[in-house]
Amino acid sequence: MPKYYTWNQSSRRFIRWKQGKPVPGYTDVYSTDAIGRIYSVHPSNDECFYLRLLLVNVRGPTSFQQLRTVDGELCGSYREACQRLQLLENDAHWDQTLNDAVISSHAHQIRTFVFYNHIYMLPSNPIEFVDQVQRLYV
C-alpha cells in the first residue's frame, strides 16, 4: 500500500503518490520505495515479535509463508525461521529492541521490558544488557 498511496490525515483517506517512478501501463500512477510503519512489539508477544524481526531483516518477502521459508524449507514458526537465519544467535536483536523502546516507550515500559527480558528471554549476557540500559538512561 505505501508503494502507491500515502495517508492524508486531513481527508482521512489514502491518496495516490503524485511523484515517484511511473508504473508502466497506468497513467498518473507512481510508485516509491516507501516503507509502511512497523511498530515495536513486546518480546512476551512471541510470534509477533519474531514476525517483526523477520520483516525487518528479510528483504522482499511477498507472503507470510515466504517469511518462514529458509533455504527452501518451510519453518513451523517465525521463531524457528529466526533461529535458522541466525537472528537469535547473539543479543543484537535485544540491543535493537532496546534502542527502539528507548525512542518510543516510557520509563516504566522499558523497566517492564528489561524485567521480561531477564525472566523469559534469557539474554546471553544479562549484566551487559543492564549496563546498556543504564548507559542509555543516565
d(CA 105, CA 119): 20
Q: Would you place residue 96 in the very low, low, confident or very high pLDDT band (cuts 50, 70, 90)? A: confident
Residue-level pLDDT at 92: 75
The string of pLDDT tens digits covering residues 21-33 is: 888 888 888 888 7
* pLDDT above 70 for 47: yes
3 state SS for the chain? CCCCEEEECCCCEEEECCCCEECCCCCCCEECCCCCCCCCCCCCCHHHHHHHHHHHHCCCCCCHHHHCEECCEECCCHHHHHHHCCCCCCCHHHHHHHHHHHHHCCHHHHHHHHHHHHHHHCCCCHHHHHHHHHHHHC
User: What is the separation of C-alpha 59 from the centre of its chain, rounded to a whole number of angstroms?
Assistant: 12
pLDDT for 90 equals 67
Q: What is the pLDDT of residue 135?
A: 82
Q: Which residue has the higher pLDDT, 102 or 76?
A: 76
**Residue 74 pLDDT exceeds 90:** yes
Residue 1 has pLDDT above 60, yes or no: no
Q: What is the pLDDT of residue 25?
A: 86
Predicted pLDDT at 39: 79
Give the percent of the chain with pLDDT over 90. 16
